[in-house]
């Protein structure tokens, strides 16, 4: 195994946030030469009693500050948001959709600063950052398709005794204040995919970003405010561990749309009680490779699905379950592919994967790899860490006793698990506590269909790696991977209530 000090990444100088354009000025001020963001509540940009520093994963240096809200502040903010329910309801949905389109236009207008912040704050390679910015704008432009979900349904009576002279109309009504809590890995897209549909539905939103990536949150909150949503969107920052309970347990918060780890999701479920709950949680996506698979295609797609964004994706392929007869050839092809995944400073346009988000994450990935090797896995390539930079890594013959066979990796590691046949592949796949995404590589439609039904996961992708994209195909998990579905139209199911009106005629 190579030693961690063999890996060096050439850094392009000290990371700095880009200069803020005028539009962002009232949401930021300067502290010791760095930008500090304010919070948004009741249409005003406000400060809390303390600040939290924000570090760049590029080299660990401080790049800015955000407010550290307190639990009593959260209570006040939620009460004020709830007070704006009637006002947002008085704006017709088509007008709200137009306002969301305006946010999309503002995102495109400010795409440079948004993607530069994603690179500096989240450590995303430049092409990934600009891809996320465009996806955020495109998602908001799709709200006209979401509108279709708000159509009302009429049910005639007479199909059951006692209903002959009745008719029902089923409408969707706003649920009330929605808490949108987002993770670090897609900090812009996740925010937009939650806030957009909630505002479209007529729900005021309290938005809390991950503390690793709050500055991009402040920028997008500013753009929603600019488009006319300033009284209907509150933007708060602070450690989830200290303000999370105050947000999710507030009686006026009626729904929670959360994306993050299963551990935090479970805690929120316990603390929040009987609220509407949409949970997009962790994953351990398997790629099942069968003997009739196109192995070149499988290797290319698996490498992409596992290494993209340093594996810090809930839908990342994080275990490959391959039948023995084709396993060695697949490993050879994967090792060739690994070379294409250049690790480096995310500001270098040739970099394909950048740093992991923080030290804890990097050390975790390192310990998962070390544990697998200790338990008998063979390190085919990679395996080294330099600060937060972890090499794309390929592990062969990973035993089921290794932690990496079961725990979410969130790092650029492909563990190969060899099996006798399709049946054993499905069995191992389903033994996971997670059930978010999965992939099957086969040339038989019949097998693909059979496996897709047998695999316990919210999504199965055949002959490609799973990706959630804009949400045109709804996504979400089973088991510890969550509940509810995110996606165009589907998100509105989580953010509205059905009301049944029965008319006796
Ligand atoms: P995380 O640690 O669970 O944090 C997610 C969010 O929850 C952050 O805003 C965090 O705030 C907040 N939080 C922490 N403790 C809380 C509490 N007690 N109450 C309320 N909120 C609390 O997740 P992460 O590390 O940012 O993101 C990685 C995880 O997200 C992975 O497990 C990944 O699989 C999952 N994910 C899932 C999907 C999906 O679609 N299923 C998509 C993307 C990511 P702080 O940062 O202040 O702690």
DSSP string of 269-323, one letter each residue: HHHH-SSEEEEE----EEEEE-TTS-HHHHHHHHHHHHHGGGG-STT-EEEEEEE
Looking at residue 149, its pLDDT comes to: 85
> Which of the 8 DSSP states describes residue 353?
B
Q: How far apart are CA 44 and CA 400, in angstroms?
A: 54
- Pick from 226, 233, 234: nearest CA to 99: 226
Q: How far apart are CA 414 and CA 338, in angstroms?
A: 10
- Judged against a pLDDT cut of 80, whether residue 4 lies above it is answered with no
**From atom 13 of ligand 1, which residue's Cα is the shortest distance away?**
240
Q: Kindly state if the Cβ of 237 falls inside 6 Å of ligand 1.
A: no
0.75 cut: is pTM over it? yes
Interval between CA 162 and ligand 1 midpoint (Å): 49
Q: Kindly state if the Cβ of 388 falls inside 6 Å of ligand 1.
A: no
Strands, sheet with 439-441, edge to edge from the N-terminal-most edge strand: 378-381, 393-396, 413-419, 317-323, 285-289, 439-441, 461-462
What confidence tens digit (pLDDT) does each residue in 469-495 have?
999 999 999 999 999 999 999 999 999
Q: How far apart are CA 292 and CA 448, in angstroms?
A: 11
Domain extents for the chain?
12-281+485-498, 285-469
Q: Kindly state if the Cβ of 436 falls inside 6 Å of ligand 1.
A: yes
- Judged against a pLDDT cut of 80, whether residue 2 lies above it is answered with no
Q: Mean pLDDT, to the nearest integer, of 400-428?
A: 98
Give 124's contacts (C-beta < 8 A, 6+ positions apart). Answer: 118, 132, 309, 346, 354
- Tokens 């790049």 sit on residue: 63
Question: What is the CATH number that goes with domain 12-281+485-498?
Answer: 3.40.605.10
DSSP sequence for 139-154: HHHTHHHHHGGG--EE
Q: Kindly state if the Cβ of 248 falls inside 6 Å of ligand 1.
A: yes
- Tokens 């949503």 sit on residue: 229
Interval between CA 253 and ligand 1 midpoint (Å): 19
Q: How far apart are CA 411 and CA 255, in angstroms?
A: 31
Q: Mean pLDDT, to the nearest integer, of 120-142?
A: 98
Interval between CA 32 and ligand 1 midpoint (Å): 29
Decide: residue 77, CB within 10 A, 0-12 exposed, 13-18 middle, 19+ buried.
buried
Helix (H, G, I), strand (E, B) or coil at 24: helix
What confidence tens digit (pLDDT) does each residue in 180-199 have?
999 999 999 999 999 999 99
- Pick from 227, 174, 184, 183: nearest CA to 205: 174
CA 240 to chain centre: 16
Which pLDDT band holds residue 466 (cuts at 50, 70, 90)?
Answer: very high
Ligand 1 pocket: which of 179, 190, 261, 273 to mutate (most atoms within 8 A of CB): 261
- Tokens 């090792």 sit on residue: 335
**CB-based contact 164:41 (threshold 8 Å):** no
**From atom 28 of ligand 1, which residue's Cα is the shortest distance away?**
260
- Phi first, then psi, for residue 316 (nearest 5°) are -60, 140
CB 318: neighbour CB atoms within 10 A? 31
**CB-based contact 317:287 (threshold 8 Å):** yes
Looking at residue 195, its pLDDT comes to: 98
Helix (H, G, I), strand (E, B) or coil at 95: helix
Helix (H, G, I), strand (E, B) or coil at 493: helix
Which pLDDT band holds residue 21 (cuts at 50, 70, 90)?
Answer: confident
Looking at residue 269, its pLDDT comes to: 97
Interval between CA 208 and ligand 1 midpoint (Å): 10
- Judged against a pLDDT cut of 90, whether residue 3 lies above it is answered with no
CA 194 to chain centre: 10
Closest ligand 1 atom number to CA of residue 481: 41
Range 285-469 has CATH code 1.10.10.10: no
Q: Kindly state if the Cβ of 65 falls inside 6 Å of ligand 1.
A: no
**CB-based contact 503:296 (threshold 8 Å):** no
More confident residue, 180 or 8: 180
Closest ligand 1 atom number to CA of residue 247: 20
Looking at residue 179, its pLDDT comes to: 98
Which pLDDT band holds residue 9 (cuts at 50, 70, 90)?
Answer: very high
**CB-based contact 64:35 (threshold 8 Å):** yes
The helix-helix angle for 126-141 and 189-201 (nearest 10°) equals 10
- Pick from 423, 468, 412, 441: nearest CA to 132: 468
Catalytic residues: 280, 314
List, in sequence order, every residue forming a beta bridge with 53; answer none if it has no partner: 65
Interval between CA 279 and ligand 1 midpoint (Å): 10
Average pLDDT, the chain: 96
Looking at residue 6, its pLDDT comes to: 65
CA 338 to chain centre: 25
Q: Mean pLDDT, to the nearest integer, of 346-362?
A: 97
Q: Kindly state if the Cβ of 195 falls inside 6 Å of ligand 1.
A: no
If residue 396 lies in a helix (H) or strand (E), which one and from where to where? Answer: strand 393-396
Q: Mean pLDDT, to the nearest integer, of 114-141?
A: 98
- Upper half-sphere CA count for residue 489 (Cβ side, 13 Å): 7
What confidence tens digit (pLDDT) does each residue in 255-300 have?
999 999 999 999 999 999 999 999 999 999 999 999 999 999 999 9
> Which of the 8 DSSP states describes residue 485?
-
Q: How far apart are CA 435 and CA 459, in angstroms?
A: 8
Looking at residue 236, its pLDDT comes to: 98
Q: Quickly count helices (H) and strands (E) in the chain.
A: 16, 26
**From atom 14 of ligand 1, which residue's Cα is the shortest distance away?**
240
User: How long is the chain?
Assistant: 505
Q: Kindly state if the Cβ of 259 falls inside 6 Å of ligand 1.
A: yes
Percent of the chain with pLDDT over 90: 95
> Which of the 8 DSSP states describes residue 225?
I
- Tokens 């009686």 sit on residue: 251
Q: Kindly state if the Cβ of 279 falls inside 6 Å of ligand 1.
A: no
Q: Kindly state if the Cβ of 408 falls inside 6 Å of ligand 1.
A: yes
Which pLDDT band holds residue 25 (cuts at 50, 70, 90)?
Answer: confident
What confidence tens digit (pLDDT) does each residue in 210-249 have?
999 999 999 999 999 999 999 999 999 999 999 999 999 9
Interval between CA 210 and ligand 1 midpoint (Å): 7
Pairing of strands 253-259, 177-181: parallel
Three-point CA angle 453, 459, 464, nearest 5°? 100
């Amino acid at each position: 195994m190579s030693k961690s000090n063999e890996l060096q990444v050439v850094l392009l100088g000290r990371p700095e946030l880009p200069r803020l354009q005028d539009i962002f000025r009232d949401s930021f001020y300067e502290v010791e030469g760095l930008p500090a963001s304010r919070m948004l509540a009741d249409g005003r940009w406000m400060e809390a009693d303390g600040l939290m520093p924000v570090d760049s994963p590029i080299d660990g240096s401080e790049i800015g500050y955000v407010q550290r809200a307190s639990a009593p502040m959260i209570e006040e903010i939620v009460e004020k948001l709830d007070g704006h329910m009637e006002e947002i309801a008085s704006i017709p949905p088509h007008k709200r959709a137009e306002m969301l389109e305006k946010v999309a236009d503002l995102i495109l207008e400010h795409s440079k600063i948004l993607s530069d912040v994603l690179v500096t704050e989240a450590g995303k390679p430049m092409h990934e950052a600009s891809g996320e910015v465009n996806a955020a704008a495109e998602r908001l432009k799709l709200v006209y398709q979401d509108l279709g979900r708000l159509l009302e349904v009429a049910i005639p009576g007479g199909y059951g005794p006692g209903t002959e002279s009745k008719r029902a109309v089923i409408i969707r009504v706003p649920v009330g204040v929605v808490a949108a809590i987002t993770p670090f890995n897609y900090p812009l897209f996740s925010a937009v995919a939650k806030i957009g549909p909630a505002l479209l539905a007529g729900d005021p939103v309290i938005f809390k970003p991950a503390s690793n990536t709050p500055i991009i949150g402040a920028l997008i909150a500013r753009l929603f405010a600019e488009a006319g949503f300033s009284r209907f969107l509150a933007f708060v920052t602070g450690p989830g561990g200290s303000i999370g309970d105050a947000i999710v347990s507030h009686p006026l918060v009626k729904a929670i749309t959360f994306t993050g780890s299963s551990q935090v999701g479970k805690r929120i479920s316990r603390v929040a009680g009987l609220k509407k709950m949409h949970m997009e949680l962790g994953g351990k996506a398997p790629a099942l490779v069968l003997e009739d698979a196109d192995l070149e295609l499988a290797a290319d797609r698996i490498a992409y699905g596992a290494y993209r964004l340093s594996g810090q994706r809930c839908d990342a392929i994080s275990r490959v379950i391959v039948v023995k007869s084709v396993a060695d050839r697949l490993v050879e092809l994967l090792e060739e592919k690994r070379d294409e995944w250049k690790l480096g400073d995310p500001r270098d346009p040739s970099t394909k994967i950048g740093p992991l988000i923080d030290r804890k994450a990097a050390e975790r990935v390192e310990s998962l790899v070390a544990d697998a090797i200790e338990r008998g896995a063979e390190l085919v390539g990679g395996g080294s860490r330099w600060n937060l930079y972890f090499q794309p890594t390929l592990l062969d013959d990973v035993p089921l006793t290794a932690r990496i066979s079961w725990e979410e990796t969130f790092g650029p590691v492909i563990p190969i698990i060899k099996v006798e046949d399709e049946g054993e592949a499905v069995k191992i796949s389903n033994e996971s506590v997670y059930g978010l995404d999965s992939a099957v590589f086969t040339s038989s439609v019949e097998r693909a269909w059979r496996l897709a039904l047998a695999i316990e996961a919210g999504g199965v992708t055949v002959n490609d790696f799973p990706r959630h994209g804009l949400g045109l195909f709804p996504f979400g998990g089973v088991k510890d991977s969550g509940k509810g579905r995110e996606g165009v139209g589907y998100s509105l199911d989580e953010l509205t209530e059905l009301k049944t009106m029965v008319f006796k005629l």
